[in-house]
């Protein structure tokens, strides 16, 4: 029994010595991260695509506003007519039909706009992930992760805070391991 205790003590001492040589505070040299927001704002082709989308959206929105103004003008013109007249009733029915169509057009515009924003973002994310893969392979990293981003402000809605913590896997990253600039070079054709 004495020998077993001594042997157990030696094994534990040896195992402790092995573990003591490692420091859990030192991050792995082969794991890096990117700041997604930094990559999105620095990705020139993605920004150009978003600006083109915004220009098209503004143009379409202006056309819808002109259509709304025209409908309001037509409604004002009807006010001078006798409400009992056939011309008033036909005009009112036509405007009501046009208003209903206008409302459908606005709704369709909003839905298409939301879908296009998601598609633009998805294309940018895909390119960023591909660039991160290239940077990781070229530099021999075992992983390139996404940083947690900025914590929502203290006065943010509780749901925003909960969503942040729910979807955040990294709680802190060492700025020395940020490879966002390398990823941006690949994205922007500079590296």
| pLDDT value, residue 61 | 95
| pLDDT value, residue 23 | 40
Q: First-to-last CA distance in the chain?
A: 66
The rounded distance, in Å, linking the Cα atoms of 123 and 85 is 56
* The model's pTM: 0.67
Residues with pLDDT less than 70, the chain: 1-29, 149-156, 161, 164-171
| pLDDT value, residue 67 | 95
């Amino acid at each position: 029994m004495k020998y077993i205790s001594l042997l157990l003590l030696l094994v534990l001492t040896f195992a402790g010595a092995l573990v003591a040589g490692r420091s859990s505070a030192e991050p792995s040299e082969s794991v890096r991260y990117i700041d997604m927001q930094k990559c999105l704002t620095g990705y020139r082709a993605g920004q150009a695509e978003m600006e083109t989308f915004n220009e098209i959206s503004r143009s379409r929105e202006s056309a819808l506003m002109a259509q709304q103004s025209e409908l309001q003008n037509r409604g004002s013109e009807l006010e001078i007519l006798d409400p009992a007249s056939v011309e008033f009733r036909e005009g009112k029915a036509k405007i009501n039909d046009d208003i209903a169509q206008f409302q459908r057009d606005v709704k369709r515009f909003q839905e298409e706009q939301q879908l296009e924003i998601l598609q633009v973002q998805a294309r940018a994310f895909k390119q960023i992930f591909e660039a991160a893969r290239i940077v990781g392979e070229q530099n021999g990293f075992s992983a390139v992760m996404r940083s947690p981003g900025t914590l929502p402000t203290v006065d943010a809605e509780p749901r925003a805070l909960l969503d942040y913590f729910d979807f955040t896997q990294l709680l802190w990253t060492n700025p020395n391991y940020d490879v966002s600039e390398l990823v941006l070079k690949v994205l922007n054709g500079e590296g």
